[in-house]
Amino acid sequence: MAEKTLFQRIMDGELPGDIVYEDEQCIVLRDINPQAPVHLLIIPRKPIPSLNEITEEDATLVGHLFVVARQMAEREGIARTGYRTVFNTGPDAQQSVYHLHLHLLGGRKFTWPPG
């Protein structure tokens, strides 16, 4: 059996996490190392290691993550001023937890290109 990820352990109640939203398909946590005044992680309950492993059957789930991101942006007061959503995939993109998660960042001006 594969070892549980940090996010799976939080979802299972084995570790604490600042959960701000949850539904049947995902949870939303505040990032422990925020890169913006608002930095949330939208995490599917289904353990998908990265964007490289999503399949056609995951299309509805991935779409749901973006709907939740929009809802959280509204709730956090950043929808009008703007925000960024990011999937980091693999070591070059600094993916640190191999459980798919969508970053929602806002509350400050961002530059382009990122990183």
CATH code for the domain of 18: 3.30.428.10
Q: Which helix (H) or strand (E) element contains residue 8?
A: helix 6-11
How many domains does the chain fold into? 1
Q: Which of 39, 64, 99, 101 is an active site residue?
A: 101
39 - beta bridge partners?
Answer: 105
- Domain residues for the domain of 36 are 6-106
pLDDT at res. 114: 84
Cα 49 to Cα 91: distance, rounded to the nearest angstrom: 12
With respect to residue 60, please indicate whether it lies within any of the assigned structural domains: yes
Burial class (CB in 10 A: 0-12, 13-18, 19+), 113: exposed
- Nearest residue to 45 (alpha-carbon basis) of 85, 109, 99, 87: 99
pLDDT in tens, 36-69: 999 999 999 999 999 999 999 999 999 999 999 9
pLDDT in tens, 54-110: 999 999 999 999 999 999 999 999 999 999 999 999 999 999 999 999 999 999 999
With respect to residue 115, please indicate whether it lies within any of the assigned structural domains: no
With respect to residue 113, please indicate whether it lies within any of the assigned structural domains: no
With respect to residue 37, please indicate whether it lies within any of the assigned structural domains: yes
Q: Is 101 a catalytic residue?
A: yes
With respect to residue 49, please indicate whether it lies within any of the assigned structural domains: yes
